[in-house]
Structure 1
Amino acid sequence: MSDAKPLSVRHAQGMATRRAVLGGAHVDRAQALTTPFDAPFQELITEAAWGHVWSRPDFTPRERSIVTIALLAALGQDEEVAMHIRATVNTGATREDVREALLHVAIYAGVPAANHAIKIAKKTFDQLDADAAFGGEEQDVR
């Protein structure tokens, strides 16, 4: 992307927010995997999702995290659920917050969606606990 047009202020804000939520190492890996094919998509999500929605002041990062996990679980977006559960270490959303969000998913989006998301959450929390115990870091990139 070295010969691309200068990126917007919204992109810079989005990248800062994305790093704060997902962690610098995660974002660096995602950026390193960006190709000319998906560069426009990466710019879009950085500006729109991270620079506009996630950077708005009316919800805290914790609140956005809870809402995002519930929505992704309701939509069956398994990899994204796991990624955003990992991000709770940066957003301040607790395991109890995640549990309560998934209880809402069960009622408003269906028990199967919540059941599956709970399995993903348990596995992801176990991985986070193992990483913390051994000083490791997650490897999934998006």
Structure 2
Amino acid sequence: MSDATALSKRYREGMATRRAVLGDNHVNRAQSASTDFDQPFQDLITEAAWGHVWSRPTWTKRERSIVTIALLAALGQDEEMAMHVRATANTGASREDICEALLHVAIYAGVPAANHAIKIAKEVLADMDPGRAA
């Protein structure tokens, strides 16, 4: 975190939200892996994505989680989508929510995008709960 960002209210809100959604372990890994080169990017996403958008009171974390998964699936952002499927353990979005989001992806963004996203979601969900088939 840069000195300029340290005092930003949005940054502090964003970091709290980021940790609540993604978990301390994920955020700690991202922070410890950052360098002078990508620290400005880490600051940006913490303040803008997590502080300005995810911290807004209008939608719940569950609702934001569902929309985020659908958007990432539609854009083919596999790693980010998998990360947000894992984050559903913290947001309250259910397997059924994920399924519904990916059905929307199939209709509005294409069957191949949804098919690939379903494969990824099933793998992540199986890792999260090995005793339950996704």
**TM-score bin (small chain):** over 0.9
Sort the Cα spacing of 1:78 and 1:6 in 2 relative to 1 into closer, same or farther, 3 A. Answer: closer
Q: Which amino acid in structure 1 is aligned with residue 95 of structure 2?
A: R
The residue number in structure 2 matching 1:36 is 36
Sort the Cα spacing of 1:6 and 1:122 in 2 relative to 1 into closer, same or farther, 3 A. Answer: closer
1:48 pairs with 2:36: no
The residue number in structure 2 matching 1:91 is 91
Aligned-pair CA distance for 1:84: 0.1
Inter-partner Cα distance in structure 2 for 1:50 and 1:76: 21
Aligned-pair CA distance for 1:6: 4.9
Q: Which amino acid in structure 2 is aligned with residue 77 of structure 1?
A: Q
Contact 2:82–2:124 (8 Å) recurs in 1: yes
RMSD: 1.5
Inter-partner Cα distance in structure 2 for 1:121 and 1:6: 34
Q: What's the TM-score, normalizing by structure 1?
A: 0.88
Q: Which amino acid in structure 2 is aligned with residue 118 of structure 1?
A: I
Q: After superposition, where does 1:74-89 map in structure 2 within 5 Å?
A: 74-89=74-89
The residue number in structure 2 matching 1:4 is 3
Inter-partner Cα distance in structure 1 for 2:101 and 2:5: 39
Q: What's the TM-score, normalizing by structure 2?
A: 0.94
Inter-partner Cα distance in structure 2 for 1:78 and 1:106: 15
Residues 24-64 of structure 1, C-alpha deviations (whole Å, 9 max, x = no match)? 11111111101000000000000000001000000000000
The residue number in structure 1 matching 2:70 is 70
Contact 2:13–2:50 (8 Å) recurs in 1: yes
Inter-partner Cα distance in structure 1 for 2:76 and 2:97: 19
Aligned-pair CA distance for 1:4: 3.1
Aligned-pair CA distance for 1:5: 3.1
The residue number in structure 2 matching 1:26 is 26
Q: Percent identity?
A: 73
Tell me, which stretches of 5 or more residues in structure 1 are unaligned? 134-142
Contact 2:5–2:43 (8 Å) recurs in 1: no
Q: In the comparison of the two structures, how many residue pairs are matched?
A: 131
